[in-house]
Structure 1
Amino acid sequence: MKANEVLEKYSAGERDFRRANLRGQSFQEKDLSGADFSEADIRGANFKNANLTGTKFCKAKAGLQRRLVIVLLLLSWITSGLSGMCSFFGGALVVLIVRSSGVAEQVYSWIALIVIVVLFAVIIRQNIKGAVALAVAVAVAAAIAVPFAGGVAVAFAVAGTLAVVEVVAVVGSFAMAEALGGSVALAIAVAVAEAVAVAGAEAAAVAFDIGEALALALALAFVLLTMYLGWRALKDDPKNAWIRNLVIGFVATAGTSFYEANLTDADFTRAILKSTDLTKATLTRSCWQNTTKLDQARLATSYLQNKNVRQLLITGNGQDKNFDRLDLRGINLKGANLQDASFIGTDLNRANLENANFSRAKLVQTLLEGADLTGATLTGACIEDWGISNTTKLIEIKCDYIFLKLSPDNAQYTKRRPADQQRNFEAGEFAKLAQRIPHTVDLVFQDGIDWQTFLKTFQDLQVENDTEERPFIQTMENKGDGAFVIRVKVPEKVDEAEYERKFRAEYNAKLEAKDIEIKLLYEQTEFFDKQIECIRKDNTRLMGVVETMAEKETTNINNIDMRDQRGANINMESHVDTAQSVTIQQNDPKQNINEAPDKNLTEAAEEIQQLLNQLSQNNPTTTEIEKLTVVATAAEEIKNNPTLKSKVIHALESGGKEAFKQAIDHPLVDIFMALIEGWREA
């Protein structure tokens, strides 16, 4: 059936295309959702970017078309022949050792043979990549050594190349043969490799007139070694799995393609999926029960890459298996046996878990948002901190009891519910207990909570809410170790995911701003502490000067010669006034300032006060940062006004800091004075 015919019938409302021959047909970017292609031949069909939601491919046969299979099989046998030729050259080395009479030729042959053996050992113990790295190193060494020991270097390079090429060729050919035709093609590939190696060894033996046994033995030894490595690669040996994956990816490009297709709810039960490309396909709730050759499909980065997960999907049996912390979003485990399985930290969001048996399973911190657990069995399961939401379906759950806590060693369950060991849940009781109240958002704070920032964020979002009903805090739970869970009830019209995202964004932004404010305040506090210390030192020095001046004036009065001074012109008033002035200053500095104010100081203080009043009216001064900002702005404007700055400095020098401070009537004067203290020294 041609693609156009299928599309016409589909447009007319027909959905039944069972057992249709669709080999090589293209349905790229077409909508075939809900169609039934059960038992159809879809080898080589192109479903790239197609919408196949809910489409059935039960017992369908995917893979390569026959003509492509023949071409690729021939390619596989050619690479097998290449491997046999490499084995032949290995036998030829022994021939050279036996036949050659020259010492140099024998040395070169022995070196080459040893290099081959070493590389085979590296491949077996590590992987082909390690052998390639060693071969490259040998080649570089050979290139450096050629001017000094050309024959030895060449022997190293040739031997390394032969060993690596032989192994890669045989592993690649075996993987391709297995991917294409299974055991028959693989047997043919082995036969080709053996035939070429044996024929070459026999020819070498006759040509060099030596015994056949020696050449045949070495050639067959190389063949057997490469066959062993090929067999290990086919068995998913992780050391050399990359070659197998590379071959499967190459073969799948000519097979059935579901590249970037939407396979949501698609059914591949009992389908043959050899050489199928599933790269970037949407596999949400796709069914893979009893499929064959799924491991020979190109699986890319989907959950199908995991061997244990593939087996679970195919067999439906995951009992006692460990699936901890895997990304299994959208997986279809309908009816699966998952007793005693572990899903700690596993993402099962939007998964189909209908009728699955989770008896005694570990569902600790398992994500189940949007998952369907209709009819599932949860008796004896541990559900500590599992992630369900109002989108999680807990309909007709079979559950006698559950546990809320897992011991640190993951060995024991505690905190049984119901707590009474003699009682089990009644029908529907567990669902009511476990199901979250609709239209709620759980805000989890793992590393503690800043309550001031939280309340400010919560209030801001309440104001932004357009609905008549506003969000409110429903419950607060202390999880221990500083962790809190706050459940917020949101209006029905509010999108829960959007509310949580917006709350997180605003809370984190406010928290970051607060951290910056605290840091700046700390830095300013350190600055003010230093300024206060300097002021105290200056005041101490000032009091010392005043005391010294007072002592000097008293000394001058006491040293007056009281003998006959009638003819002398003594200015007693000057001395007395000076001493009195110093005494007044020491006892009451404010009295002296008020009695004789400096005109320049008064003018400068009035201008500063006016500037601070103006800035305070136009800018907020609630927080410490806002106050510092206003004062810093005022200081900057004064610096940019040379006349005013000169007045301020003169006022500080003539009247002193305290007098200037008393002349400015503003709540920010203390911060301002600390900021300009250093101007007198500048």
Structure 2
Amino acid sequence: MRGPWLRKIVIAFAAMGDTSFYKATVTDADFTGATLKNVNFNRAILTRTCFKDTVKLNLARPGNTLLEKPIVRDLLINPSSGEEKDLSKANLRGAYLKEANLQRANLKNADISGATFEYANLSSANLTEVNAVYTNFNSAYLTGACLENWNIDTTTKLDNVDCQYVYLLNNEKERQPSSGDFKTGEFTKLFEEVFDTVNLIFENGIDWKAFIETMKTVQVENEDTPLEVSSIENKGDGVFVVKVKVPPDADKEKIHQEFEENYQLKLQAVEAKYKALLDAKENEISSYHRENANMMEITKILASRPINIETKAMNNSPDNSTNITTGDINNTGNLNTGKIIKDVNNTIDNISESDNNENEQLKTSLKELMQAIETENELDDEEKAGAANNVKTIAKASQKPEDEGLQKKATRAVKLLETLAKGLKPANKLYTACQSILPQIVTFLGITL
């Protein structure tokens, strides 16, 4: 509870100059109007700490707290300035934003866990995939907000939320309610019902083989936590929403993240197999063309000679269908893992030399990683192909540090390799290799996981 005596104490300390709250717990403190020049907040716990109208907060030492980013710091000083601000991926953990104006603000992927948004205006704000565990939305205004895949649980406070309607998908799709407005209390009731549900959104259809394998993997990784598909909704344009029921005490954020990572890993393995099959088919066609060309040459030679040629019809075997279905694909052909691994090794070999020898060290590390993938007995050919393609992505990204899109793909590739390694025993070669090599790759590329 905030009290005048507490506010006087913290302001008095701050006014001393060079005050240090290093590693201190400053929860619920009120610095309103205080001058905070040179105050050390490094590694302090600033949950629900009020910085409204503070002076020279930009000259304080924020360390790795939520004060580190200027855009967040300015919002904490002036909560009414957040309209249409881009706060995507921002660290707002524990932020005190009571009565803040965040109308049409972009908070996609932001961490707002433990934050206070009481009476805040979040109308038409983008809250896609925010982490809102322990977050206080009591009496907040949320009409028109996008709540796609936001992470809430029983600790999220939604009492007396003022909301006429929301969207469950981006671009104002999946309006709730479909028509009209929420009646009093309906918004809170709607989301209390999903506290035990993880929503999985697929924007390009669902590969059911990868989906089922992912469900099994995530269940094992979470100590056989019961996972039950409660509904599958087709939203059109290839968009599906799968609702997975989990126990009330389950870590929904962890399950959602692990599902996404494992699904992408399985999907890459399936796509690698399809690509190998298509490549094999193209090779067959090329071989046919070459043979046909040779036959034409032979025909021309024989045609110039005074002999009779008996022409026999050649019945070519029917072509296998290349239509991709969601059925069993285990017997559709052999995956040329060796060819894929050779291709990846060639990509690594093409990494250019550098003056400080860093590239050579990276090449050596990637080669070791490929060796571990190739010899890992616990992986099937699909998983090896998927892992190898992730290494290829990393190798390409190392040569184009200015390519932001490629760097994001490399970050994703590292995460997928980490996820793959977690499914192995510590004694496995690939597990050991990932533990030692992936941190080196992260440092070399300068990426943040």
Give the TM-score normalised by structure 2: 0.55
- Out of 172, 183, 189, the residue aligned to residue 432 of structure 1 is 189
Matched residue of 1:390: which SS? coil
Matched residue of 2:67: which SS? helix
Corresponding position: 1:336 with 2:288: no
Matched residue of 1:60: which SS? helix
The match for 2:331 is: 622
- Out of 362, 373, 378, the residue aligned to residue 136 of structure 2 is 373
2:123–2:144 contact (8 Å) kept in structure 1:
yes
**Compared CA separation, residues 517 and 497, structure 1 to 2 (3 A):** same
- Out of 419, 442, 455, the residue aligned to residue 179 of structure 2 is 419
Q: Distance in 2 between matches of 1:477 and 1:403?
A: 18
The match for 2:25 is: 263
Matched residue of 1:278: which SS? coil
Deviations 1:463-498 (A, max 9, x none): 77764x742222334455544332222345654333
Corresponding position: 1:455 with 2:217: no
- Out of 1, 12, 21, the residue aligned to residue 60 of structure 1 is 12
2:19–2:38 contact (8 Å) kept in structure 1:
yes
2:232–2:243 contact (8 Å) kept in structure 1:
yes
Tell me by how many angstroms 1:338 deviates.
Answer: 2.6
* Count of matched residue positions in the alignment of Structure 1 and Structure 2: 319
Gaps of 5+ in 1: 1-17, 20-35, 41-56, 66-254, 553-582, 588-620, 630-682
Matched residue of 2:80: which SS? coil
Gaps of 5+ in 2: 313-329, 339-449
Matched residue of 1:625: which SS? coil
**Compared CA separation, residues 425 and 418, structure 1 to 2 (3 A):** farther
Query: Which one-letter code corresponds to 2:152 in the other structure?
Result: S
Matched residue of 1:277: which SS? coil
**Compared CA separation, residues 472 and 338, structure 1 to 2 (3 A):** same
Q: Distance in 1 between matches of 2:161 and 2:56?
A: 35
Matched residue of 2:279: which SS? helix
- Out of 510, 521, 526, the residue aligned to residue 266 of structure 2 is 510
Tell me by how many angstroms 1:318 deviates.
Answer: 1.1
Corresponding position: 1:298 with 2:61: yes
Tell me by how many angstroms 1:267 deviates.
Answer: 0.8
Q: Distance in 1 between matches of 2:337 and 2:54?
A: 72
Tell me by how many angstroms 1:521 deviates.
Answer: 2.4
The match for 1:318 is: 80
2:47–2:96 contact (8 Å) kept in structure 1:
no
Deviations 1:165-213 (A, max 9, x none): xxxxxxxxxxxxxxxxxxxxxxxxxxxxxxxxxxxxxxxxxxxxxxxxx
Matched residue of 1:276: which SS? coil
Give the 5 Å matches for 1:472-511. 472-479=228-235, 481-491=237-247, 494-511=250-267
Tell me by how many angstroms 1:363 deviates.
Answer: 4.1
Tell me by how many angstroms 1:256 deviates.
Answer: 1.6
| Identity over aligned pairs, percent | 22
2:30–2:49 contact (8 Å) kept in structure 1:
yes
Q: Distance in 2 between matches of 1:454 and 1:521?
A: 21
Give the 5 Å matches for 1:138-537. 255-259=18-22, 261-263=23-25, 265-270=27-32, 271-289=34-52, 291-300=54-63, 302-304=65-67, 309-310=72-73, 312-314=75-77, 317-318=79-80, 321-326=83-88, 327-333=90-96, 335-338=98-101, 340=103, 342-345=105-108, 347-353=110-116, 355-358=118-121, 360=123, 362-365=125-128, 367-378=130-141, 380-385=143-148, 387-391=150-154, 393-399=156-162, 401-404=164-167, 417=177, 419-420=179-180, 425-426=183-184, 428-435=185-192, 437-459=194-216, 461=218, 467=224, 470-479=226-235, 481-491=237-247, 494-533=250-289
Q: Distance in 2 between matches of 1:506 and 1:307?
A: 35
Query: Which one-letter code corresponds to 2:27 in the other structure?
Result: D
Greater percentage in helix: 1
1:360–1:380 contact (8 Å) kept in structure 2:
yes
Deviations 1:259-303 (A, max 9, x none): 4x1536251434542321223444343232454443442335654
Query: Which one-letter code corresponds to 1:489 in the other structure?
Result: K
**Over the residues paired in the alignment, what is the CA RMSD in angstroms?**
4.8
Q: Which has the larger radius of gyration?
A: 1
Q: Distance in 2 between matches of 1:430 and 1:282?
A: 32
Query: Which one-letter code corresponds to 1:434 in the other structure?
Result: F
Q: Distance in 2 between matches of 1:530 and 1:308?
A: 58
**Compared CA separation, residues 334 and 384, structure 1 to 2 (3 A):** closer
